[in-house]
């Protein structure tokens, strides 16, 4: 809050007017003290100006926010409980509104809530002569919307990985765009950027250049050229997997309808089973040999 300042004028009223003009407010919002009432002198001799010191009253931003919102809600015909509190650094105000029919305050995709939040921020900053960031919420909408956007980002990111085609999301406000960017910022295969002018600015999710997502389901059709494969029906290590005929000959199973990965796992299972059986037979043979020697 501002310190005391000194103002002067021909009279105390003139000094007060000068103070109000500089502080940009009205008399009920300041405190002042008369330092010298001044003297008009005689025929201009020994004339002295009036002097006061003044400063703005200490303003509670939470009280301002609650009063402003209360008046807005009353004009809308709504009754609600408003709770405002400063954060630990006194730089932002968190406001919760509780009541019935709060859906009207949220609006489509939170647009009404965002507009109210902006207006409260203006009202508080004007009265307090200091900028305060306002966070306005009701019915836990902000957290629910954040979760929805995070899930959207992940799902669209997966689609872009598989199709290798960019996707443009619907226009969002800066806060919601940051959620999308933050959710995908560490993704190996996709990246994000924003395009357009407010309020139609939107996030674009694109595949990263030079990095390809291995879509095993599609490799058999596209030869793996676009998704990290090494040719038709080949694994990521470049080795050609065992064919169905070779598998049937070696393991005695008809696997024509098995996937490559399943055949590989099944082969490993059969081999481990055969190794365990061989180890058991060797153990039995060793025991029998020891018995014969005794």
Tens-place pLDDT, residues 113-136 = 999 999 999 999 888 778 888 999
At 60, the pLDDT band (50, 70, 90 cuts) reads: confident
The share of the chain scoring above pLDDT 70, in percent, equals 73
**Residue 290 resides in a domain:** no
- Predicted confidence at residue 88, as pLDDT, reads 67
292: left (phi over 0), alpha (psi -120 to 50) or beta: alpha
* Structural domain for 191, as ranges: 143-207
Last residue of a domain, one of 157, 188, 207: 207
Is the whole model's pTM more than 0.75, yes or no? no
Asked whether residue 15 falls in the same domain as residue 66, the answer is: no
Tens-place pLDDT, residues 82-98 = 999 988 676 789 999 99
Task: Give me the residues paired with residue 50 across strands.
Answer: 9
Q: What is the CATH number of the domain that holds 47?
A: 3.30.30
Asked whether residue 115 falls in the same domain as residue 174, the answer is: no
Pick the range with the lowest mean pLDDT from 9-13, 155-159, 236-240, 273-277. 236-240
- Predicted confidence at residue 138, as pLDDT, reads 93
Query: Which two tokens mark 97?
Result: 């509104």
At 279, the pLDDT band (50, 70, 90 cuts) reads: confident
CA 174 to CA 44: how far, in whole Å?
63
Asked whether residue 135 falls in the same domain as residue 147, the answer is: no
Asked whether residue 187 falls in the same domain as residue 118, the answer is: no
**Residue 92 resides in a domain:** yes
**Residue 233 resides in a domain:** no
Choose among 210, 146, 199, 141: nearest CA to 173.
199
Q: Nearest 5 degrees, angle CA 22-CA 25-CA 30?
A: 95
**Residue 235 resides in a domain:** no
**Residue 230 resides in a domain:** no
**Residue 239 resides in a domain:** no
* Chain centre distance of CA 118: 18
Asked whether residue 49 falls in the same domain as residue 65, the answer is: no
**Residue 238 resides in a domain:** no
**Residue 280 resides in a domain:** no
- Predicted confidence at residue 276, as pLDDT, reads 75
Asked whether residue 124 falls in the same domain as residue 154, the answer is: no
Tens-place pLDDT, residues 192-221 = 999 999 889 999 999 998 777 766 554 443
The share of the chain scoring above pLDDT 90, in percent, equals 41
Q: Please count the structural domains in the chain.
A: 4
Pick the range with the lowest mean pLDDT from 22-31, 37-46, 147-156, 161-170. 37-46
- Predicted confidence at residue 186, as pLDDT, reads 94
């Amino acid at each position: 809050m501002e310190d005391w300042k000194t103002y002067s004028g021909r009279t105390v009223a003139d000094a007060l007017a000068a103070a109000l003009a500089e502080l940009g407010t009205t008399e009920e919002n300041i405190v002042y003290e008369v330092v010298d009432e001044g003297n008009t002198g005689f025929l201009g001799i020994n004339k002295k100006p009036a002097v006061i010191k003044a400063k703005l009253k200490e303003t509670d931003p939470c009280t301002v926010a609650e009063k402003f919102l209360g008046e807005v809600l009353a004009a809308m015909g709504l009754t609600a409980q408003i709770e405002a509190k400063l954060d630990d650094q006194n730089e932002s105000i968190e406001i919760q509104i509780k009541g019935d029919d709060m859906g009207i305050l949220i609006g489509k995709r939170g647009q009404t809530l965002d507009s109210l939040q902006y207006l409260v921020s203006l009202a508080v900053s004007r009265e307090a002569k200091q900028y305060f960031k306002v966070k306005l919420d009701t019915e836990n909408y902000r957290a629910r919307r954040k979760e929805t956007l995070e899930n959207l980002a992940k799902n669209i990111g997966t689609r872009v990985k598989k199709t290798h085609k960019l996707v443009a999301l619907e226009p969002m406000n800066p806060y919601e765009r940051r959620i999308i960017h933050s959710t995908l910022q560490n993704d190996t295969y996709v990246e994000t950027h924003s395009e357009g002018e407010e309020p139609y600015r939107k996030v674009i999710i694109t595949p990263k250049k030079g990095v390809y997502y291995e879509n095993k389901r599609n490799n058999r059709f596209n030869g793996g050229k676009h998704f990290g494969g090494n040719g038709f029906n080949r694994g990521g290590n470049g080795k050609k997997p065992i064919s169905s005929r070779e598998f049937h000959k070696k393991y005695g199973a008809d696997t024509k309808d098995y996937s490559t990965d399943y055949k590989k796992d099944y082969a490993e299972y059969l081999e481990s089973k055969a190794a365990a059986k061989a180890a058991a037979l060797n153990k039995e043979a060793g025991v029998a040999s020891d018995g014969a020697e005794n």
